[in-house]
Each structure stands twice: as structure tokens, then as C-alpha cells.
Amino acid sequence: MLAPYACDPDRSRGRRVPEPAAPTRSMFQRDRDRIVHSTAFRRLVYKTQVFLNHEGDLFRTRLTHSLEVAQLGRSIARSLGLNEDLVEAIALAHDLGHTPFGHAGQDALHDCMREHGGFEHNLQSLRVVDQLELRYPQFDGLNLCFETREGILKHCARRDALRIEAAEPGGVARRFLVGTQPSLEAQLCNLADEIAYNAHDIDDGVRSGLLTLAQLDEVPLFTRYRDAALAEHPSLAGQGRRLLFEAIRRMLSDQVYDVIGTTRAALDVAAPATADEARQAGPLVGFSPAMRTDSTGLKRFLMRSLYRHPQVMDTTDRARRVVRELFDAYLASPHEMPADFAEAPDRHRAVADYIAGMTDRFALREHTRLGGESLFG
């Protein structure tokens, strides 16, 4: 049963192009289904989270990460009376605009586009669902509900917000100009994203050999659950992988319970009677202060020990080069792109759109085809 502050699909602000209701699905369920069937969603299976796709079959990709965010988000939403279908739709769509090669690809593409409006993956995710998916005769994009699009646009610089607001007055960018919050479902997805990537980056880091269990001794958020697991199951002392899994499982569970308890307390104080009142009340979904401190400590550890590891940095340097050289090649020879992109009036943005939609392996193949050089084995 939905809480009064949850987003009710029957009270949705609707789609940019009006459509008749589906006979068997709510508006948010329909959004979720459109996202799952989109080309951009399928491409996520071959897009980097931290480790490139060819580096191992068991590392997370953008697709598996999105599924984990959706699972965590739905679990929390159910306890808080929020709309699970909306949470799932936002979670599954939140990374649709990510470039190949993760943040390295985004940084390189932003550098290429610096004099032409820049590039930001949240804006690109919205662009994917609003314009770039070409599946329906009546409109470009997926024509998603306002509430889903609101959740996809997690961050937005004022310059970009003004541009979006001019094209869509009172739309998804308005909150960045007036200082309100998105729906509680959108706030929840943002936090579930953080919980998911912190946990699975520990797992992938250890699996890769770039992190060790000994290094994790400096992370209180991990050692607390590792020690509790060992106290309850002493036999885990000689089982590194199983101990790691159990510690991460406990860490995830406790973070979920922390979010539920902290958010319930905030909702009791704010007492929003509607979803719009919740948007006006300031951030309501969050960690307790102690859990926020521990989560920040984990993020700093991962930045220092994993994301800036020399082996990862070497890979990301080569990935940036691939993106930069692809950008230059397509800009000079647009006929190397499909006609929809080659004939677009804004060539720089069309090149950025084309590259952003690539999977890691397609970008590498194109780089080799156009440049005759393979930067990755």
C-alpha cells in the first residue's frame, strides 16, 4: 500500500506527448518496460563499471550495477511505502547516458565538448530517453513520465537547468533553479546507487587482485561486519571469498536498515501529506550521521586504493585516448557514422551522442578500424 507521500501513478504529471493509459499496467510500470526494451539498456551489459569488459567475465558492468540498484531501491521502498515501480524505472534508467569506459570516457568526452556545451552523463541519460531512442512513430525517445525523468536527472548545473527550463517550463529542471527536491523515490535511487557501487567495488577490487582483505582493515564500515561474521562463524577465517561475501552482505543489510530507520524518523518530523509536500521539505531519504561518516570513509578508501590504483589509471588513460581519437576521427569524417548522426546539424553533439552510445568493445573495434592501432589486448 502506498504511503500518502509516495508518487501515485494515477496522479502523475504525465508524459510530454499524451498517450492513452495502458489497460494492464500503471504509468510507472509502462516506463520500466520501455526502459528494459530500449537499445540503450541492452548496451549497458558491455559498458564499464570499474573494470573493462574484456578484463573478466565476473566484474560488474553498468547493467548488473543498475539491477543491483533496482533491487536495493525496491527493498527500501517497500518498507517505506514508496512506489516500487517508479524506483525500479529510475534505477534501471539512471546510467543509460554513460559513455564506454566509465568515468574515464565521460571525462574525455567532456573535454572534447568543452567549447560545445560539455558532456555530463546524467544529462545524457535524459537525452537518451527524451530524444535518442527511436522506437515509436509518434515521438522521439521513450516519452517517459515526468516522475521517471525527474529521477533520472540527478545533477544539473544552473546553465543546463536554465536551458532545459526554457524548453520545458516547469519541467524536470525547475527544482535546480528553485531549490526543491525530487520525489522521495528519486532521492532513494540516488542513495541506493551509492550503496550498491561502494559494496560491489569492494568485491570487484578484491576479485581483481588490486585490493586485499588486509588493506580493508583501514575501513571501519567493512571491518565491523567482517569481525561480526568471524565471531559468529569462526570457520570463515580460512575462507577469504566466503568471508568477503558475508561481510558485504551484512554491510548492505545494515545500510538498508539504517536508511529505513533514518528516513522514517525524518518523515515523522516533516509529516508530508503528499508527494509534492515531500519535495518541498528538503532531503528526507538518507543515512544516519554515523553511517554517512562510515560510507564517506569507504568512498575515500576506494578512491585512493582502487580507482587511483596504477593499473586502473593506466587503463583509464588508454580509454581516454580511445574516446578523444574517436571524437576527432568522426568530426573529420562524419560519413564514418550512421546517417542519423552524420547528417545532424550539430556535428559536435552528434559525435558525442554516437560515442556515448557505444559499448566498450564496439568503441575499441571502431578505434582500431579508424586508427589502425589496438590499445588493449
pLDDT at 188 over 70: yes
pLDDT digits (tens, 9 = 90+) for 234-271: 999 888 889 999 999 999 999 999 999 999 999 999 99
Band the pLDDT of 47: cuts 50, 70, 90: confident
Please report which confidence band the pLDDT of residue 208 belongs to, taking 50, 70 and 90 as the band edges. Answer: confident
Question: What are 89's three cell numbers?
Answer: 524505472
**82, 191 contact by CB (below 8 A):** no
Confidence of residue 53 (pLDDT cuts 50, 70, 90): low
Residues 6+ apart with CB under 8 A from 12: 27, 28, 145, 146, 147
Give the start-end residues of each E strand in 88-217: none
Instruction: Provide the pLDDT confidence category of residue 212 given band limits of 50, 70 and 90.
Output: very high
Nearest to 315 by CA among 196, 173, 223, 210: 210
70-107 pLDDT, tens digit each: 999 999 999 999 999 999 999 999 999 999 998 899 99
CA distance 226 to 249: 10
How does pLDDT run across 335-358, given as a tens digit for each residue? 999 999 999 999 999 999 999 999
Asked if 152 and 126 count as a contact pair (C-beta separation under 8 A), the reply is yes
Indicate if the pLDDT at residue 373 is higher than 90: no
**Taking a C-beta distance cutoff of 8 angstroms, is the pair 173, 164 a contact?**
yes
pLDDT for 195: 96
Partner residues linked to 61 by β-bridges: 48
Angle at 186 between CA 183 and CA 187, to 5 degrees: 90
242 CA to centre of own chain: 28
3-class state of residue 15 by DSSP: strand
Q: Which amino acid is at 210?
A: L
Assigned C-alpha cell, 66: 543498475
- Write the single-letter amino acid at 19: E
Better-scored residue on pLDDT, 297 or 314: 297
- 95-153 residue pLDDT tens: 999 999 988 999 999 999 999 999 999 999 999 999 999 999 999 999 999 999 999 99
Per-residue model confidence (pLDDT) at position 60: 79
Under DSSP, the state recorded for 259 is H
